[in-house]
Amino acid sequence: MATFREIGERGLVEMIRRTVLRDGSPDALTDDASVIPRGSGDLVVCTDALTFERHMPKGMTYEQLGWMAAAANVSDLASMGAKPTGLLASLNVPEDMDVRDICDIMSGIDQCAEFGETYVIGGDTKPGTGTVAVTAIGDMEGRRPMTRGCARPGDVIAVTGPLGGPAAGFRAIEAGIDLPDSVATLMAPIPRVKEGIALASTGLVSSCIDLSDGLSTCVRTICKESGVGAIIEWDLLPADEGVSVISEKLGIPEKDMLMDWGGEYELLFTFDRKDLD
């Protein structure tokens, strides 16, 4: 049979899904976050890991890596509209790593927990090549979780903020261009916790996803799960200020930075046009 390298992460996840899916399994296994139904308010849980090798752009500190690992998960909660109620961190780090650097990772995770008004409530450390796995637990507090599968024809598509910052920041670092605000969106992205809670509170949102896989992939996901199509009006896309700078200086098409770059942490959501007010 194939190896992990040959089949890739997506292929492996599909095989794993088939391995563990049983009668009664939650829908869980298609979303980034899973819902545990509970009388007084559903729980939402998710886990996502970053590796030193693949997820640390040049110049990223261990503190920022920790923040990023936490933010990826807190953002998954936000996309469902859940309030974070605790983070767990499972670190896999080289045995010759300085303890100060390890604590910097944890400090980054904790700062993101504090941003989300919650705490690091557990964890584990083992020797390895360098992986930071965070699990986030959230509470719907009576709101209905926003999912990806209920967008309807005619819905408006919206995002919570400007896009392209991480892409512009990455190019800026590579080319030595001074774009601190764009670099910040790459190195320390802000998960849209309050925005996600506010969106779910309206009860009017038909679907929601965070843009961590990039705009084009995420729109395709919503379309596939909801059985709809979508039109993206180029002129209406809000862009990070660094996007035009990088495009002018380096000749990189704005579209590449806005559409096809992952690591965005804005939320994309859909709703009925009549609810626009």
Q: Within 215-254, which residues bind a copy of itself (CB under 8 A)?
A: none
Binding mask 134-173 for a copy of itself (x = CB under 8 A): -x-x-x----------------------------------
* Closest to a copy of itself by CB, 66 or 164: 66
30 binds a copy of itself (CB under 8 A): no
* Closest to a copy of itself by CB, 90 or 244: 90
63 binds a copy of itself (CB under 8 A): no
- CB of residue 151 to a copy of itself, shortest distance in Å: 23
Which amino acid, 18? R
Give the bridge partners for 135, in sequence order: 47, 88
> For residues 13 and 21, is the Cβ–Cβ distance under 8 A?
no
Number of residues in contact with a copy of itself under rule CB under 8 A:
75
CA distance linking residue 62 with residue 197, whole number of Å: 29
**Core vs surface per residue 221-238: b (16+ CB within 10 A) or e:** bbeebbebeeeeeeeebe
Binding mask 65-94 for a copy of itself (x = CB under 8 A): --------------------xx-xxx-xxx
Binding mask 10-29 for a copy of itself (x = CB under 8 A): -xxx-xx--xx-x-xxx-xx
- CB of residue 255 to a copy of itself, shortest distance in Å: 30
Residue 143 has what DSSP assignment? P
* Range in contact with a copy of itself (rule: CB under 8 A) among 105-113, 209-217, 243-251, 255-263: 105-113
| 75 backbone dihedrals φ, ψ, rounded to 5° | -65, -35
Alpha-carbon Rg for the chain, nearest whole angstrom, is 19
58 binds a copy of itself (CB under 8 A): no
Q: How far out from the chain centre does Cα 204 lie?
A: 22
- CB of residue 119 to a copy of itself, shortest distance in Å: 5
CA distance linking residue 74 with residue 67, whole number of Å: 10
Indicate which single residue of 58, 95, 231, 276 sits in contact with a copy of itself (rule: CB under 8 A).
95
**How is the beta sheet containing 156-159 ordered, strand by strand?**
156-159, 267-271, 205-210
Binding mask 121-140 for a copy of itself (x = CB under 8 A): xxxxxxxxxxx-x-x-x-x-
Residue 149 has what DSSP assignment? S
